[in-house]
Amino acid sequence: MKTLLYLHQEDLGIGLVNKRKAYEYQLQALDTVEANEKIGFDSGLLGHGVGAQMLVDLGVRKMCLMTNNPKKMIGLEGYGLSVVEQVPIEMEANKYNLGYLMCKQTKMGHLLHV
């Protein structure tokens, strides 16, 4: 069975208002991790429950997961799901996203080639 599950949400459950606050802090030279922590969100905490439960309900047990975040793979395994392949999400670094990508790589452990 082939299944594509896409959840249009922030991992932290941060919401639109708080996301805007985080962007304001980023404009003041904080990186994404620092900005999220400043408004009370721990960038190390991820919410996998809804997506994992949907996959279980659909009968999915093994999957290829599109992510750069190894913590997502570990989190899903905690629900009895097996990630058999990690498919990277490739993007070109540029002057607008380089700092963000570097933060994701160095502070959050994302598998990126920056």
pLDDT tens-digit map of 21-31: 999 999 999 99
Cα separation of 15 and 48, whole Å?
A: 16
**Beta carbons within 10 angstroms of residue 112's beta carbon:** 18
Q: At what angle do helices 70-77 and 49-57 cross, to 10 degrees?
A: 50
Residue pLDDT, tens place only, 36-60: 899 988 776 566 788 899 999 999 9
* Structure-block tokens of residue 96: 């607008």
- Please check the confidence at residue 9 and state whether its pLDDT lies above 70: no
Q: pLDDT at position 11, please? A: 59
- Show the CA angle centred on residue 104, arms to residues 101 and 108, nearest 5°: 170
Average pLDDT, the chain: 87
Domains of the chain with bracketed CATH: 15-108 (3.40.50.10990)
Number of neighbours of residue 32 by Cβ within 10 angstroms: 19
Q: What percent of the chain has pLDDT over 70?
A: 90
Residue pair 107/35 in contact (Cβ under 8 Å)? The answer is no
